[in-house]
């Protein structure tokens, strides 16, 4: 059950600029409404006290198995979070025209 904190770490540990940038980068190419990103944007604006509180809680986890479960879950969620970005369509760019064809 403590593996849940791995997911919390990924969400709470996402910096303000990354979370807000992520929301914009995902929303634009998929043309989704603002409401689809309220969760991600809310995590981008969390205050630092929230993250500090989480750190204090994690400092109390002393069992190596529990710590390993948290780290395992965090790695899985980081991979899933990265998969969101890897699945986005790349922007289409026009091939550069040579001077001879311009």
| DSSP calls for the chain | -TTHHHHHHHHHHS-HHHHHHHHHHHHHHHT--GGGGHHHHHHHT--HHHHHHHHHHHTT---HHHHHHHHHHHHHHHHHHHHHHHTSPPPP-PPPPPTTT-
- Asked if 74 contacts 9 with a C-beta cutoff of 8 angstroms, the reply is yes
pTM for the full predicted model? 0.62
Structure tokens at 83: 């998969």
pLDDT at residue 68, rounded to an integer: 97
pLDDT at residue 93, rounded to an integer: 73
pLDDT at residue 32, rounded to an integer: 92
pLDDT digits over 25-77, tens only? 889 888 999 999 887 777 666 656 677 888 999 999 999 999 999 999 999 99
pLDDT at residue 63, rounded to an integer: 97
Instruction: Tell whether the model's pLDDT for residue 15 goes beyond 70.
Output: no
Residue 3 — pLDDT band, cuts 50, 70, 90? very high
pLDDT at residue 88, rounded to an integer: 79
């Amino acid at each position: 059950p403590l593996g849940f904190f791995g997911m919390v770490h990924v969400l709470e540990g996402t910096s303000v600029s990354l979370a807000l940038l992520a929301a914009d980068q995902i929303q634009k190419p998929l043309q989704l409404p603002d409401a689809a990103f309220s969760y991600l944007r809310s995590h981008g604006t969390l205050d630092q006290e929230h993250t500090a509180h989480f750190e204090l809680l994690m400092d109390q986890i002393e069992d190596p198995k529990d710590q390993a479960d948290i780290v395992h879950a965090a790695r899985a969620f980081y991979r899933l979070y990265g998969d969101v970005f890897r699945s986005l369509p790349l922007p289409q760019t026009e091939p550069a025209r040579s001077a001879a064809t311009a």
